[in-house]
Amino acid sequence: MPLERLTIISRTSALARIQARLVGENIVEKFPKIDLHYVTKTTNGDVDLETPLSSMANIGVFTNDIRSELISGNADLAVHSWKDLPTEMDPITEISGTIERADLRDVLLYKKKSIGKKIVSVSSSSPRRQRNLTSFLKKVLPFNTDEISFSPIRGNIFTRIKKFLESDSDALIIAKAALDRLQLEQARDIFQNHTLIESLLNSVNWMILPLSQNPSAAGQGALAIECLHSNTKVCELVRSISNQTVFQTVNAERAVLSSYGGGCHQKIGISITNFEHGSVTDLKGLTAENKVLDNRYFKPSSGKQRVNHLVGDKKSLFDKQYFSKFFDRVPITGAIERINLLKNRGLYISRDTAVPVGADIAPSNTLWVSGIVSWQKLAARGIWVNGTSDGLGEHHCKPEHLFKDIKWIKLSHDKSHTQSMGFLATYTLKPLFFDLDLRQFTHFYWMSGSAFLRALELYPSIVNMEHSCGMGSTFDCINNIVPDKVTIYLTYEDWYREFSS
């Protein structure tokens, strides 16, 4: 006999209730006749707002009290933020499933009145964020800083934002998933304080922090649906609506964290992101034994494993020093004036030089860059950048505004193209005399589709060689010419290390 009624329990915060509602919607979509009942409970972690989470003696401070309601029979299933769960679970219950994952990344909110300060205070209780972001923020804040310090902040998302706005702290770091969920249509009857979001938007500049530099907590952005192991009907129902890709990915992240000891006291970030051609794993931090972790790698999807012919001689590898021989980048007359006229738009910057020196970008615009190096170079020029595609391409890591929908324009060279946004050419590629015989190389790593097309024009026979590149538009360009023969490496260094070792 199918279940007729289901009681779902969560924490009492607005965000927790929104998350429970999202799970409920997934259940009702498949079982429209089921009667859902929502209940909440205040946990030990909600009561103690003074002790930093990393210093709390007990694990599961946000989840143990909820679990006790399952065990006592007062609820059928519990919805948790998966990152709050300890890596070792009580065998009486199980995590039976999950739903679609929200954004994994963190967000930096920086008070506009604090821009330019030499000593910056950041509110965050996470040892992971402090470890991974202190040096990175010094490179991407568009002004010089002498010191960046972190101080703990506790409370639900509403409480932390309110505390931050009323404090002397310069910046706050929070999970992007929390902000995104508070702005969902489903949240309107639960989270009523939308003036808080408006106040936040008016008071801060923001950055969406890249996973390559700041991997998330294991399971961040994912919801864990817990039920009694013995309650087979409920467990089967949850499994039937579960997103198994997310479920397996989060368990893989938690296994990595567990191998280093687990827990919110760890200074370790681990994120696994799935794409069409494979997954990207970002692991960064410091273990309890003071071992530095800094690893980013691509794992091809099943059936798309790398098949490369061995290199007999390192001289067969096309060296990146030769890329400067293909083109000269010539600024386009009038580009600065056209950029200066843009207001309330999103600007996707293909490379830092796509913003000509002398351009005066209006503060109402949002800036998104292709990679970390371009971000750092623009920051050194005093330009605030809001986020990056992290070297994964504009389609895999799309530009976005944190609070609203805006129209985007890509700034690049005149031969570039995009179907997902507007376009503004700021420079042209002028072919240079090329006196290097490319036929001597057997393996190529391409950093731009333009360079590949120019090389093919000069030496058509290299089409039969081994070609590699990253995941973005360069891959699309080459894959159109040699379908299913292009291998993906996230960086030139990864590729070179693979073939030169």
CATH number of the domain at 106-208, out of 2.30.30, 1.10.10, 2.40.128, 3.40.190? Answer: 3.40.190
Three-state DSSP string of 377-422 = HHHHCCCCCCEECCCCCCCCCCCCCCCCCCCEEEEEECCCCCCCCE
The closest of 56, 32, 33 to 44, measured between CA atoms, is 56
pTM for this entry: 0.93
Handedness of CA 164, 169, 170, 174 (dihedral sign): negative
Instruction: Indicate the SS3 state at residue 430.
Output: strand
Angle, CA 395 vertex, CA 391 and CA 396 arms, to 5°: 55
Half-sphere exposure of 98 (CA within 13 A, CB side): 22
DSSP string, 34-84: -EEEEEEE--HHHH--SS-GGG-SSS-TTTHHHHHHHHTTS-SEEEEEGGG
Q: For the chain, which residues make up each domain, given as ranges?
A: 5-102+219-264, 106-208, 306-321+432-500, 327-431
Query: What pLDDT score was predicted for residue 310?
Result: 65
Report the pLDDT averaged over residues 291-308: 82
Q: Tens digit of pLDDT for each residue in 330-371?
A: 999 999 999 999 999 999 999 999 999 999 999 999 999 999
Q: Tens digit of pLDDT for each residue in 473-499?
A: 899 999 999 998 999 999 999 999 888
Report the pLDDT averaged over residues 368-396: 97
Where does the pLDDT of residue 139 fall: very low under 50, low under 70, confident under 90, or very high at 90 and above?
A: very high
Q: What is the CATH number of domain 327-431?
A: 3.40.50.10090
Please tell me if the domain spanning 5-102+219-264 has the same topology as the one spanning 106-208: yes
Residue 364 gets which letter from DSSP? T
H or E element in which residue 338 lies: helix 335-340
5-102+219-264: what fold? D-Maltodextrin-Binding Protein; domain 2 (3.40.190)
The closest of 285, 307, 303 to 294, measured between CA atoms, is 285
- What CA–CA distance (Å, rounded) separates 495 from 487? 10
Query: What pLDDT score was predicted for residue 88?
Result: 81
- What CA–CA distance (Å, rounded) separates 441 from 458? 14
Query: What pLDDT score was predicted for residue 213?
Result: 98
Q: Tens digit of pLDDT for each residue in 53-87?
A: 555 445 556 688 888 899 999 999 999 999 988 88
